[in-house]
């Protein structure tokens, strides 16, 4: 079930609930006609979804996409001015840039730039995870490669990239090879699986197709965080029979993985994917902090909580109102911050929230509003300050500093 139809705008929890048959028909849907031309485009209409990151020198890097090209640009003044976009893949190919499957960008310890994206294939909901790198500050990019060894025309989608302190690259994705095997054997199978690959040579090559877990949700982003020499993954899982809560596990550099722990217990039973993945951060005391979306029978909306590595979340707090959606989280030492979108009936609002006591108390701030298209917000950290990156049709690649 695909809920991210491109002509629907402001697809908040109410719309997801209606689409899944969970709430009465009180949901307000705002239909729009996409403009004939898009001022973001250079050589093709740009998709509104984008990602960004800071490098060690404070340069902000952003990646977005047209239907056939992935593009990177940079800003040295926190988004005040941007360079011209550099095309990562000069040879055109289809590029997926939906909300939870937008292109991603990461930075290595020596300034290397890494970009991943999903290339759709001919069959519906199929794809390949693509990768390119730049070792010269974004001036040139390596020919794109497919990260995984499996070349079946099946789902390899919803990529996530993380770089550890020692420079190792982890790329995870949603994969349906095990579902296909189950179908061939006429066996039931819940959802999809999470696979990953690892690079020890700054992206020159990848080893893997390592399976992290079976029975993941099919269309929600995977949250990742570097954890020593490995990476923690936090994703929407399908617990028997159809409970779409979240799970947590560690990807190790040798391709092994730690046990899968159930991390949220909202008991959301639904046979549909909400296209609404979680976010994860780790503070200076190794405490895990997360945000996630649920429409459970007792808890519905977007929630923050401190996670145990096994066990229910603590210090749980609902974020925003009924139409809050697509939250992101980041930490700076003991400080924690959140950003999320929320439709107010007339436009989409960008909200931020900050805690100075490790998640015990919070202060919310309205950061911006738009009445046009907007991407999922992303929260970035630079020198202990939190910055919301919000790519909108009216103000592309906008950066707002949380107070």
Return the domain boundaries, the chain. 8-35+42-401
| pLDDT at residue 207 greater than cutoff 50 | yes
Percent of the chain having pLDDT more than 70? 89
User: What pLDDT shows up at residue 223?
Assistant: 98
Phi/psi for 238 (5° steps) reads -110, 100
Q: Kindly state the average pLDDT of the residues 84-106.
A: 96
Tens digit of pLDDT for each residue in 151-186? 999 999 999 999 999 999 999 999 999 999 999 999
User: What pLDDT shows up at residue 372?
Assistant: 94
* C-alpha torsion angle, residues 371, 373, 374, 376 (rounded to 10): 120
Cα 390 from Cα 375, distance rounded (Å): 6
Tens digit of pLDDT for each residue in 306-324? 998 878 899 899 999 999 9
Q: Kindly state the average pLDDT of the residues 393-402.
A: 96
User: What pLDDT shows up at residue 28?
Assistant: 23
pLDDT band at 401 (very low <50, low <70, confident <90, very high): very high
Q: Are 389 and 378 in contact (CB under 8 A)?
A: yes
Q: Which two tokens stand for residue 31?
A: 């239909």
Three-state SS for 41?
coil
Q: Which two tokens stand for residue 399?
A: 């950066």
- The domain covering 8-35+42-401 belongs, at the CATH homologous superfamily level, to Peptidase/esterase 'gauge' domain (2.130.10.150)
Q: Are 158 and 173 in contact (CB under 8 A)?
A: yes
pLDDT band at 30 (very low <50, low <70, confident <90, very high): very low
SS3 content of the chain, % helix, strand, coil (to 5): 5, 45, 50
| pLDDT at residue 37 greater than cutoff 60 | no
User: What pLDDT shows up at residue 310?
Assistant: 77
User: What pLDDT shows up at residue 4?
Assistant: 35
User: What pLDDT shows up at residue 289?
Assistant: 97
pLDDT band at 11 (very low <50, low <70, confident <90, very high): very low
Q: Which two tokens stand for residue 359?
A: 């998640």
| pLDDT at residue 366 greater than cutoff 90 | yes
The DSSP symbol for 362 reads -
Tens digit of pLDDT for each residue in 367-381? 999 999 999 999 999
| pLDDT at residue 104 greater than cutoff 80 | yes
User: What pLDDT shows up at residue 99?
Assistant: 87
Tens digit of pLDDT for each residue in 267-315? 999 999 899 999 999 999 999 999 999 999 999 999 999 998 878 899 8
User: What pLDDT shows up at residue 74?
Assistant: 98
User: What pLDDT shows up at residue 45?
Assistant: 57
Q: What is the DSSP string of 92-119?
A: ----B--GGG--EEEE-TTS-EEEEEEE
The DSSP symbol for 330 reads E
Q: Are 226 and 164 in contact (CB under 8 A)?
A: yes
Cα 303 → chain centroid: 16
Q: Kindly state the average pLDDT of the residues 89-115.
A: 96
Cα 245 from Cα 140, distance rounded (Å): 41
Nearest by Cα to 173 from 186, 154, 187, 160: 160
Q: Kindly state the average pLDDT of the residues 44-55.
A: 84
| pLDDT at residue 6 greater than cutoff 60 | no
| pLDDT at residue 3 greater than cutoff 80 | no
First to last CA, the chain: 39
How high does pLDDT run on average in the chain?
89
Nearest by Cα to 72 from 130, 120, 114, 119: 114
- Using CA atoms, how far residue 157 sits from 114, 130, 171, 252, in Å, is 17, 10, 11, 21
Residue 241: asked if its preceding bond is cis (omega within 30°), the reply is yes
């Amino acid at each position: 079930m695909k809920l991210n139809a491109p002509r629907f705008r402001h697809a908040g929890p109410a719309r997801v609930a209606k689409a899944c048959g969970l709430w009465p028909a009180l949901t307000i849907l705002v239909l729009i006609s996409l403009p004939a031309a898009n001022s973001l485009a250079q050589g093709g209409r740009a998709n509104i979804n984008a990602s960004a990151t800071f490098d060690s020198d404070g340069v902000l890097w952003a990646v977005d996409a047209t239907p056939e090209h992935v593009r990177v640009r940079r800003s040295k003044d926190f988004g005040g001015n941007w360079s011209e976009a550099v095309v990562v893949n000069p040879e055109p190919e289809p590029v997926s840039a939906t909300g939870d499957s937008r292109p991603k960008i990461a930075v290595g310890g020596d300034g290397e730039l890494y970009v991943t994206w999903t290339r759709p294939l001919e069959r519906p909901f199929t794809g390949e995870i693509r990768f390119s790198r730049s070792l010269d500050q974004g001036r040139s990019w390596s020919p794109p490669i497919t990260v995984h060894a499996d070349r079946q025309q099946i789902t390899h989608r919803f990529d996530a990239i993380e770089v550890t302190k020692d420079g190792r690259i982890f790329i995870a994705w949603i994969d349906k090879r095990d579902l296909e095997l189950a179908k061939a054997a006429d066996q039931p199978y819940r959802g999809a699986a999470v696979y990953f690959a690892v690079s020890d040579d700054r992206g020159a090559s990848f080893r893997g197709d390592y399976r992290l877990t079976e029975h993941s949700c099919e269309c929600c982003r995977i949250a990742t965080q570097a954890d020593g020499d490995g990476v923690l993954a936090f994703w929407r899982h399908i617990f028997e029979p159809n409970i779409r809560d979240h799970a947590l596990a560690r990807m190790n550099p040798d391709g092994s993985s730690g046990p899968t722990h159930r991390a949220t217990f909202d008991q959301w039973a639904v046979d549909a994917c909400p296209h609404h993945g979680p976010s994860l951060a780790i503070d200076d005391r190794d405490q895990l902090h997360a945000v996630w979306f649920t429409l459970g029978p007792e808890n519905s909306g977007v929630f923050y909580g401190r996670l145990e590595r096994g066990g229910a979340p603590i210090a749980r707090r609902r974020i925003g109102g009924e139409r809050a959606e697509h939250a992101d989280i980041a930490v700076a030492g003991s400080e924690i911050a959140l950003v999320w979108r929320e439709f107010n009936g007339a436009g989409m609002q960008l909200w931020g929230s900050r805690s100075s006591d490790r998640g015990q108390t919070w202060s919310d701030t309205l950061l911006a509003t738009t009445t046009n298209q907007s991407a999922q917000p992303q929260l970035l950290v630079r020198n202990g300050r939190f910055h919301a990156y919000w790519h909108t049709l009216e103000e592309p690649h906008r950066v707002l500093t949380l107070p």
